[in-house]
Amino acid sequence: MSFKKYLPIVLYMLAGTSCTYPFTLDEDTFEERLVIEGDILVGGITDVRISNVHPLGGEDVIKKINCDAWVEAEDGTIYSSSESGRKCLIDTRSASPQVRHKLHVLDKIAGEEYVTPWLVVQRKAEIDSLSFQYDEMDDKLKFNISVSADENSQYFRWSFEEDWEYHAYYDSQYEFIPPMEFRDGDDPDYGSIIPRENSIYFCWGHMESFQIMIGTTNNLTHDKLIEHNFYSVPCTSLKLQSLYRLKVSMRTLSKEAYQYWNTIFTNSNDTGDLTAPMPSNIRGNLSSTTETGKYVIGYINASELSMEELYYDNNRYNLFIDKKAYPLLENVDPSLWYKYSRDNNIPISVMTGPSPVFLWAPADCSDCRRYGGNKNKPADWPTDHE
């Protein structure tokens, strides 16, 4: 439990005396360590990644890594990796949850092998539902998960992928083709405006979770999580502007794996306060077969994967808060098109008449690609927008 964030509040409240300043370590604290990540996913693809600890602020030396990995089942089956190097993918779709497994990682350069103990495949828990809830006090959308487990599957870790569709404020129907050489006078060449072939009105964003999201039913009267909040999105986020999808993956953890993740969470998010737990090094379950006690970062868990997805449609719930102020469209004389274009404006539409007039707007509110997304629409996206 951290009180770090409370102390400045108390002092702010009392006298406005407390301040936080950027801080860098004077000393070079770097210590080289190997990191191995790769839960054994029974019924899926085991993704093993081998990396190194990087210096905090200094120059990183990319160390060459060439590893091989394989999963050994207690029944003697070996599941080999299709690749080697920093990333090894092992097809464990046919692995049985009834037998124990262990992960082997071979550092080909150092000639050193790391191995886990036999790991029991954790019993799969089901995601009952995903839901969201509007938090009007903080103006955010809280995403909740409900899980049915049993006494042998009480610890969980979630990860997610989120996709969202959004659109620019103005739907640009035209695009400006600049002149080869700007020319004014009797024979001007101001460039031309042609109908836009590829819409820049709709875009899609995609992110994968980086947060550590863990939970347990260990303290509850029954092995169920009901509407457990694990993630929130501010209502001002563009993610909620149109259609948002959250795809959640859940794996059941052993108690030890849960403690390991909890420690990483504490070490990375909850340090510094005198009343917060001091950061600590917790040993993983990988050990070197040649050097006893060698410190390797990583805890390997064996489980199956449960998945669930949820859509939020803003047309239905209308919780998105648009705080952006948008300029009015401007009627631009052709002689200024080129200048306008160079000033990051694009033509939006045309007022037809005896002499058509093109209306322009800043690209920042007309080109959806400028908001971090792109035109890569997910293959299974439910709308027909392009």
For another protein, the binding residues in 289-348 under the rule CB under 8 A are 292-293, 295, 297-298
Whole-angstrom distance, CA of residue 176 vs CA of residue 196: 9
| Window of 8-16, 72-80, 171-179, 338-346 that interacts with another protein by CB under 8 A | 8-16
Name the minimum Å distance from CB 288 to another protein: 10
Pick from 96, 129, 131, 259 the residue near another protein by CB under 8 A.
259
Q: Write the CA distances from 306 to 111, 159, 185, 216, 317, integer angstroms.
A: 36, 11, 69, 16, 28
Q: Among residues 102 and 228, whose Cβ is nearest to another protein?
A: 228
Comparing C-alpha atoms, which of 307, 26, 328, 381 is closest to residue 147?
A: 307
Positions 92 through 151 that interact with another protein (CB under 8 A):
137
Name the minimum Å distance from CB 176 to another protein: 35
Q: Among residues 123 and 142, whose Cβ is nearest to another protein?
A: 142
Pick from 264, 350, 357, 359 the residue near another protein by CB under 8 A.
264
What six digits make up the tokens of 191?
A: 């460039």
Count of residues in the chain:
386
Contacts (Cβ under 8 Å, ≥6 apart) of 254: 119, 120, 122, 155, 301
Q: Write the CA distances from 340 to 100, 176, 185, 329, 344, integer angstroms.
A: 66, 10, 19, 12, 7
| Window of 75-83, 172-180, 257-265, 334-342 that interacts with another protein by CB under 8 A | 257-265
Comparing C-alpha atoms, which of 203, 200, 226, 201 is closest to residue 215?
A: 226
Q: Among residues 47 and 330, whose Cβ is nearest to another protein?
A: 47
Pick from 65, 127, 225, 248 the residue near another protein by CB under 8 A.
225
Name the minimum Å distance from CB 245 to another protein: 18
Pick from 62, 210, 379, 386 the residue near another protein by CB under 8 A.
210
Name the minimum Å distance from CB 49 to another protein: 8
Whole-angstrom distance, CA of residue 161 vs CA of residue 206: 7
Pick from 108, 283, 324, 369 the residue near another protein by CB under 8 A.
283
- Under 8 Å between Cβ of 116 and 103: yes
Name the minimum Å distance from CB 273 to another protein: 6
Name the minimum Å distance from CB 23 to another protein: 4
Q: Among residues 271 and 349, whose Cβ is nearest to another protein?
A: 271
Name the minimum Å distance from CB 46 to another protein: 15
Tell me the Ramachandran region of residue 333: left when phi exceeds 0, alpha when psi lies from -120 to 50, beta otherwise: beta
Name the minimum Å distance from CB 202 to another protein: 26
Under the binding rule (CB under 8 A), the answer on residue 212 touching another protein is: yes
Q: Write the CA distances from 245 to 298, 311, 322, 327, integer angstroms.
A: 30, 4, 19, 30
